[in-house]
Amino acid sequence: MLFLVGALLVFGVVLGTVAHVPVPVSVVAGLAIALWLAVFLARERFSHRRLPGRPHTGRGGRR
Protein backbone atom coordinates (compact mmCIF):
# COMPACT_ATOMS: atom_id res chain seq x y z
CA MET A 1 0.00 0.00 0.00
CA LEU A 2 2.81 2.40 0.80
CA PHE A 3 4.42 1.43 -2.50
CA LEU A 4 1.22 2.53 -4.22
CA VAL A 5 1.32 5.92 -2.47
CA GLY A 6 4.96 6.38 -3.47
CA ALA A 7 4.22 5.34 -7.04
CA LEU A 8 1.36 7.82 -7.27
CA LEU A 9 3.59 10.57 -5.86
CA VAL A 10 6.28 9.83 -8.45
CA PHE A 11 3.62 9.65 -11.15
CA GLY A 12 2.33 13.07 -10.09
CA VAL A 13 5.83 14.57 -10.18
CA VAL A 14 6.46 13.14 -13.64
CA LEU A 15 3.19 14.52 -14.97
CA GLY A 16 3.75 17.90 -13.37
CA THR A 17 0.75 18.09 -11.07
CA VAL A 18 2.93 17.99 -7.97
CA ALA A 19 5.85 19.78 -9.61
CA HIS A 20 4.31 23.19 -8.89
CA VAL A 21 4.57 22.82 -5.12
CA PRO A 22 7.75 22.34 -3.08
CA VAL A 23 8.99 18.80 -2.47
CA PRO A 24 8.31 18.90 1.31
CA VAL A 25 4.66 19.73 0.62
CA SER A 26 4.44 16.76 -1.74
CA VAL A 27 6.04 14.48 0.84
CA VAL A 28 3.63 15.66 3.54
CA ALA A 29 0.70 15.09 1.20
CA GLY A 30 1.96 11.59 0.41
CA LEU A 31 2.35 10.82 4.11
CA ALA A 32 -1.14 12.14 4.80
CA ILE A 33 -2.56 9.84 2.13
CA ALA A 34 -0.59 6.90 3.54
CA LEU A 35 -1.93 7.63 7.03
CA TRP A 36 -5.48 7.90 5.71
CA LEU A 37 -5.13 4.54 3.94
CA ALA A 38 -3.67 2.92 7.07
CA VAL A 39 -6.58 4.18 9.20
CA PHE A 40 -9.06 2.98 6.59
CA LEU A 41 -7.38 -0.45 6.51
CA ALA A 42 -7.46 -0.75 10.30
CA ARG A 43 -11.13 0.28 10.49
CA GLU A 44 -12.14 -2.15 7.76
CA ARG A 45 -10.16 -5.03 9.21
CA PHE A 46 -11.41 -4.63 12.78
CA SER A 47 -15.00 -3.64 12.05
CA HIS A 48 -15.95 -7.03 10.60
CA ARG A 49 -15.08 -9.13 13.63
CA ARG A 50 -17.77 -11.50 14.75
CA LEU A 51 -18.99 -11.39 18.33
CA PRO A 52 -18.48 -14.66 20.21
CA GLY A 53 -21.58 -16.82 20.39
CA ARG A 54 -23.34 -15.17 17.46
CA PRO A 55 -23.45 -16.76 14.02
CA HIS A 56 -22.12 -14.84 11.07
CA THR A 57 -25.02 -13.93 8.79
CA GLY A 58 -23.02 -12.21 6.08
CA ARG A 59 -23.91 -8.93 4.42
CA GLY A 60 -26.91 -10.18 2.45
CA GLY A 61 -29.34 -10.64 5.32
CA ARG A 62 -31.57 -13.70 5.51
CA ARG A 63 -31.77 -16.00 2.54
Q: What is the pLDDT of residue 32?
A: 92
With beta carbons less than 8 A apart as the criterion, state whether 5 and 34 touch. Answer: yes
User: Over 80: is that where the pLDDT of 5 sits?
Assistant: yes
User: Over 90: is that where the pLDDT of 3 sits?
Assistant: no
Burial of 24-36, coded b for 16+ CB within 10 Å and e otherwise, reads eebeeebeeebee
- Mean pLDDT, the chain, whole residue set: 77
**3-class SS of residue 26:** helix
Task: Give the confidence band of 18 by pLDDT, cuts at 50, 70, 90.
Answer: low
**Mean pLDDT computed over 3-24:** 79
Q: What percent of the chain has pLDDT over 70?
A: 67
Question: How far is it, in rounded angstroms, from Cα 17 to Cα 32?
Answer: 17
